[in-house]
Amino acid sequence: MNYRTVTVKENILIENNEKAAQLRKNLQEKGIFFINVMASPGSGKTTLLVELINRLKDKYNIGVMEADIDGDVDAERIEKLTGVRSIQIHTSGACHLTAQMVEDAVKEFNIDGLNLLILENVGNLVCPAEFDTGSHLNMMLLSVPEGHDKPLKYPLMFQISQITVITKIDTLPIFHFDTNLCKEYIHRRNPNAEIYEVSALKKQGLDELINAIEKRINL
Amino acid sequence: MNYRTVTVKENILIENNEKAAQLRKNLQEKGIFFINVMASPGSGKTTLLVELINRLKDKYNIGVMEADIDGDVDAERIEKLTGVRSIQIHTSGACHLTAQMVEDAVKEFNIDGLNLLILENVGNLVCPAEFDTGSHLNMMLLSVPEGHDKPLKYPLMFQISQITVITKIDTLPIFHFDTNLCKEYIHRRNPNAEIYEVSALKKQGLDELINAIEKRINL
Domain assignments of chain B as residue spans, ordered by start: 3-217
User: For A79-104, what is each residue's pLDDT tens digit?
Assistant: 999 999 998 998 878 888 999 999 99
**Would you say residue B63 has pLDDT above 50?**
yes
Has residue A9 got a pLDDT over 70? no
Instruction: Output the CA–CA distances (angstroms, integers) from residue A170 to B148, B171, B176, in the order listed.
Output: 20, 13, 14
According to the model, what pLDDT value does residue A63 have? Answer: 96
ipTM of the complex: 0.78
Contact B217, B33 (CB under 8 A): yes
Q: How far apart are the first and last CA of chain B?
A: 41
Those residues of chain B whose CB sits closer than 8 Å to some CB in chain A are: 1-2, 5, 8, 12, 40-43, 68-71, 73, 91-95, 98, 100-101, 122-127, 130, 143, 145-147, 149-150, 152-156, 168, 171, 174
A85-90 and A194-197: which strand pairing? unpaired
Question: Which of A8, A42, A146 is facing B8, going by the closest CB pair?
Answer: A8
The pLDDT tens digits of the residues spanning A187-202 come to 999 999 999 999 999 9
**Chain segment A122-173, per-residue pLDDT in tens:** 999 999 999 999 999 999 999 999 999 999 999 999 999 999 999 999 999 9
Q: Least CB-CB distance to B41: which of A5, A150, A171?
A: A150
Q: For residue B174, is pLDDT > 60?
A: yes
With 0-12 / 13-18 / 19 or more C-beta atoms within 10 angstroms meaning exposed / middle / buried, residue A158 is: buried
CB B135 within 8 A of CB B158: no
Task: Check pLDDT > 60 for residue A6.
Answer: no
Segment B121-171, tens digit of pLDDT:
999 999 999 999 999 999 999 999 999 999 999 999 999 999 999 999 999
pLDDT digits (tens, 9 = 90+) for B22-33: 999 999 999 999
Mean pLDDT of chain A: 92
Query: Could you read off the pLDDT of B74-115 as tens digits, one per residue?
Result: 888 999 999 999 989 988 788 889 999 999 999 988 888 999
At residue B7, the pLDDT reads 56
B174 interaction partners in chain A (CB closer than 8 Å):
171, 174
d(CA A219, nearest CA chain B) in Å: 32
pLDDT at position B109: 86
Domain A3-217 falls under CATH 1.20.120.1200: no
> Dihedral of CA B175/B180/B183/B184: which sign?
negative
Asked if residue A4 has pLDDT above 50, the reply is no
Q: Name residue B39's amino acid.
A: A
Closest CA to B56 of B196, B209, B219: B209
In chain A, residues with a C-beta closer than 8 Å to the C-beta of B68 are: 153
Contact A114, A141 (CB under 8 A): no
Reduce the secondary structure of A151-189 to three states and give it as a string.
HHHCHHHHHHCCEEEEECHHHHHHCCCCHHHHHHHHHHH
pTM: 0.86
